[in-house]
Amino acid sequence: MKVTQTVYLYAVPDYFDPAKVRYSAFSIKDMGQDYTLVGSTEVTFDVPEVPNGVALAIDVIDRKKLDALELFHKTTRELNERLSKLQALTNEPITQYFEDSSVRLREEIHGVTRNLNGEVI
């Protein structure tokens, strides 16, 4: 299937070096104050047949789920590495950390304040 669309080319100052100009193409005619319209052209693309929008929407959501899962695993790995390094310094098992955090959280909720020596104020 062939799809023809008008594409607009804009010039915009480079974000990192305003003395330089970069160019971007969009399908929108008015991009706002920062963009200067340079020209437009009709572009024809060969695109695969999509039976319906639902299949496309499902594919988009599946890709977003995979991206979110990848980010979750990456963040979890980084946090576990940081936690392991901290535990190596203090020699505390992780259960003690969570128990202490849980106590601190309960005390914060109920308005209990401790000084640097751990005594209730």
Task: Please report, for residues 13, 69, 74, 89, the alpha-carbon distance to residue 83 in angstroms, rounded to integers and kept in the order given.
Answer: 43, 21, 14, 10
Strand intervals (E) in the chain = 2-13, 21-26, 36-46
List pLDDT tens digits, range 2-57.
Answer: 889 999 999 998 888 888 999 999 988 888 788 899 999 999 998 888 778 888 89
At CA 68, angle to CA 66 and CA 53, rounded to 5?
55
List pLDDT tens digits, range 38-50.
Answer: 999 999 998 888 7
Task: Please report, for residues 21, 47, 82, 84, 94, the alpha-carbon distance to residue 77 in angstroms, rounded to integers and kept in the order given.
Answer: 40, 39, 9, 10, 15
Conformational region of residue 60, where left means phi above 0, alpha means psi within -120 to 50, and beta covers everything else: alpha
65 has pLDDT over 80: yes
Residue 55: per-residue pLDDT? 84
Closest CA to 37 of 25, 47, 45: 25
- State the chain's mean pLDDT as an integer: 82
pTM listed for this prediction = 0.42
Q: What is the dihedral of CA 31, 37, 43, 45, to 10 degrees?
A: -40
